[in-house]
């Protein structure tokens, strides 16, 4: 027995603001096959197997009728010719209807609407907003049919020619990689709902440079002390930036986690403040215990850290670094690197530091250990040179 039916939101992901996918379900001898129609609507826009309450409902319903007719014709042909049912062949039969609609829709508009549906932290959403802006500036990846491996390579070349915000030169490989990472994630969503037949990034695995992940900048303990010794006028953005950076250096928290800090999530064990939480950006669990310098900062603000815009924060840090005579350019994430290397230098186990930082795996933490090992080798080299120089003299 063979049945054909339209199924809405099979995976139960639709909400009042999150659209669900309409699929065709073909049942053959109790075995079910599902095919995306490429159409997504909100729950209130779907009733009795029809799209309703939308300006384009007539167009979408016509597309569904065409897809159903194609499915029926394909199955009739199989039965007439006593052919074995081929699921992939049926998918290819449906695809031209979806592709025709995709070609006529604006990819950038869809990507913009889709990223707004993602539950992202403000900082991460800013990355996606910048990606959409860059795609608009590039202008050659505006429709679904533009998504080829060759065009992704061309976009990569164009990105590498962009200038850094400070005008110091082209943006880094790591910055370019982040654009690709965000675009790939959005295209995967498009693939899941039938907007794409394949994601070109699947054919580019390992070919887009990630950037130098082994090179990690951090402050030495002497530089940490120099920074903390700065005298800054109270009740200014620079004073707040200094305090937040110190708090980050001794907690390892990212900017988003600091801005969402809530002392009620901690509990006291003797004189210690401890907590188990999740990172705002990734949802990864981490273990935290507040060190004395961090507690002093919290006391100063009655355990409620004030808000400081990330751009203003990083601008103030840049000035503070110059005043302190620190050659490394200060930014909020540098404090997290500093915390990791500080803990490792002072004997903390790498597995424990990984949990403190909320890393998804220990490989992320190992780069800090590699940096410290490189620092040790540099000291050996320095001593060797001094010995040779002394021997010559």
Residues 207-224 pLDDT 10s: 777 655 556 788 988 999
Those residues whose C-beta lies under 8 Å from the C-beta of residue 251, and which sit 6 or more positions away, are 258, 288, 290, 291, 294, 339
Give start-end residues of each CATH 1.10.443.10 domain in the chain.
221-379
* pLDDT, greater one: 238 or 271: 238
Question: What's the pLDDT at 29?
Answer: 87
pTM for this entry = 0.52
CATH number, domain 221-379: 1.10.443.10
CATH number, domain 108-203: 1.10.150
* pLDDT, greater one: 343 or 103: 343
- Band the pLDDT of 270: cuts 50, 70, 90: confident
Question: How many Cα atoms are found within 13 Å in the side-chain-facing hemisphere of 356?
Answer: 24
| Tokens encoding 228 | 């903390």
Give start-end residues of each CATH 1.10.150 domain in the chain.
108-203
For residue range 47-80, what is the model confidence (pLDDT) as tens digits? 999 999 875 678 788 889 999 999 999 999 998 8
Contact, 216 vs 368, CB < 8 A? yes
Question: What's the pLDDT at 169?
Answer: 66
Question: What's the pLDDT at 180?
Answer: 92
What share of the chain in percent tops pLDDT 90? 32
Strand residues in the chain grouped as ranges (E): 2-8, 20-28, 31-41, 46-47, 50-51, 267-269, 272-278, 285-289
């Amino acid at each position: 027995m063979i049945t054909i039916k339209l199924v809405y939101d099979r995976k139960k992901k639709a909400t009042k603001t999150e659209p669900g996918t309409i699929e065709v379900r073909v049942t053959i001898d109790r075995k079910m096959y599902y095919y995306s129609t490429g159409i997504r609507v909100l729950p209130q826009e779907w009733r009795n197997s029809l799209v309703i309450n939308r300006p384009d409902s007539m167009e979408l319903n016509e597309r569904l009728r065409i897809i159903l007719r194609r499915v029926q014709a394909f199955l009739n042909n199989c039965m007439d010719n006593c052919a074995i049912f081929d699921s992939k062949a049926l998918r290819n039969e449906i695809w031209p209807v979806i592709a025709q609609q995709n070609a006529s829709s604006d990819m950038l508009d869809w990507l913009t609407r889709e990223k707004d549906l993602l539950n992202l932290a403000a900082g991460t959403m800013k990355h996606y907003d910048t990606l959409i802006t860059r795609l608009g500036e590039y202008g050659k990846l505006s429709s679904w049919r533009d998504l080829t491996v060759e065009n992704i390579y061309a976009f990569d070349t164009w990105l590498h020619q962009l200038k850094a915000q400070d005008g110091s030169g082209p943006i880094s490989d790591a910055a370019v990689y982040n654009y690709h990472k965000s675009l790939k994630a959005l295209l995967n969503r498009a693939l899941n709902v039938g907007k794409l037949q394949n994601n070109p990034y699947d054919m580019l695995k390992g070919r887009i440079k990630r950037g130098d992940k082994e090179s990690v900048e951090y402050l030495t303990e002497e530089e940490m002390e120099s920074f903390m010794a700065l005298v800054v006028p109270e009740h200014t953005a620079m004073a707040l930036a200094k305090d937040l950076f110190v708090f980050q250096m001794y907690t390892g928290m990212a900017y988003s986690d600091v801005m969402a800090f809530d002392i009620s999530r901690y509990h006291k064990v003797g004189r210690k403040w401890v907590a188990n939480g999740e990172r705002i950006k990734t949802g990864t669990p981490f273990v935290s215990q507040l060190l004395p310098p961090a507690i002093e900062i919290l006391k100063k603000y009655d355990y409620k850290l004030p808000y400081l815009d990330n751009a203003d924060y990083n601008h103030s840090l840049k000035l503070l670094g110059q005043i302190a005579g620190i050659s490394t350019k200060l930014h909020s994430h540098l404090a997290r690197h500093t915390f990791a290397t500080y803990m490792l230098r002072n004997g903390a186990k790498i597995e424990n530091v990984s949990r403190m930082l909320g890393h998804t795996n220990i490989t992320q933490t190992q780069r800090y250990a590699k940096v410290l090992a490189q620092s040790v080798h540099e000291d050996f080299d320095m001593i060797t040179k001094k010995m040779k120089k002394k021997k010559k003299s």
